[in-house]
Amino acid sequence: MESGAIFAGLHPNLTPIHHHHLLGPSRRTVKLLPPIFTGKRHSCHYPLKLPNQSHCACFSNNNSENANTLQVDSPPSNVVPELADIDWDNLGFGFTSTDYMYIMKCSQGENFSKGELQRFGNIELSPSAGILNYGQGLFEGLKAYRKYDGNILLFRPEENALRLRIGAERMCMPSLTVEQFVVAVKETVLANERWIPPPGKGSLYIRPLLMGSGAVLGLAPAPEYTFLIYVSPVGNYFKEGLAPIHLIVETEMHRATPGGTGGVKTIGNYAAVLKAQSAAKAKGFSDVLYLDSVHKRYLEEVSSCNVFVVKGNVISTPSLKGTILPGITRKSVIDVAVSQGYLVEERFITVDELLDADEVFCTGTAVVISPVGSITYLGKRVTYGSKGVGLVSQQLYSALTSLQMGLTEDKMNWIVELK
């Protein structure tokens, strides 16, 4: 997906906390408060570099100490928190409640300024909240990985921050700065460090949400907004793991239309695909591949993933034209593929080209790279390869995941180390 909306029901975490120390990115003591079409060809890459950012999070002012405030001391740098009691060898892609979430609020016309870590639990919303009545909300998805040396890694969090800002402008919402977003992600990950799977067992999925939380009856932007981050340890998104998935091309329903919101990560985009996806899964398919809504012959994306088509040494992916989400994994795969000598094209791709491809794969935060074993279109089934995972899919998956997990040198300058 860039990750579909798969986490449901934020229930309080009643599990006692086993670690005794919490430490912010600056390794200072942290106080935790209780809850209240133009085609493109690529032949070189330009890694995004941001100016140096502060590693200090912003917290709400609390001048009076009280019995409900949890004061946490910074441990020595060599102390490793006890891991949560989870069967790490059988970790699926589902929601597990953790210890802390991050909350930040602001009013319409103002800027986000201060946030706080709170114990994970349910949140309170007015029945007239903008998010509930008019779907004024966005989400993001990214991951944290644990290295064998104890370091914790984030993959390109500033890209998620930039995409959230673009989406917020489209949905008439205020947004955090890139620095505020990255700091909030760091604080949340470190607060839930014991939930990060051991190396090779999975990752900590990070779900930032931006929503119109203020009450509004008439159709208008909400008067108040909430930014929230929660996390969950996850394994593979598709039960097949790195094994071929099987897609059906949807010819009647569409994910997005020109001029709509298909190019931003707004919450309503994902509910709209559930009917076609459920029908496809009932027939034994893994997911649905959507076509453009105008000509009904050009590829767009899978329910929550971008799609790539391989023919010879050329890798093609549908161009971004406002109806396709600009996936961060998609962007990263393009750069990695170019660095490995492939010619990558962003352009319109027809169904006929898809059916004639040597190899097809999907990309997203949750799936990383998922090879496609077969495509079914108008009752015709086309298979790809006879040896399971395609060579290009395997090569790009290995290169990207090795980078994300810190197993290879980060020549792209994409990794953010927390410890």
Q: Annotated active-site positions, please?
A: 265
* 307-342: burial string, b at 16+ Cβ within 10 Å, e else: bbbbeeeebbbbbbbebbbbbbbbbbbbbbbbeeeb
Q: Tokens 């990750």, residue?
A: 3
Taking the CA atoms of residue 221, residue 222, residue 225 and residue 228 in that order, the dihedral angle to the nearest 10 degrees is -90
DSSP conformational letter for 109: T
Side-chain half-sphere of 347: how many Cα atoms within 13 Å? 16
Judge contact between 334 and 345, C-beta under 8 A: no
DSSP conformational letter for 201: S
Burial class from Cβ neighbours inside 10 Å (0-12, 13-18, 19+) for residue 201 reads: middle
| Rg of the Cα atoms in the chain | 21
Judge contact between 182 and 53, C-beta under 8 A: yes
Strands 314-318, 343-347: pairing kind: parallel
**Six-digit token pair at 147?**
């290295």
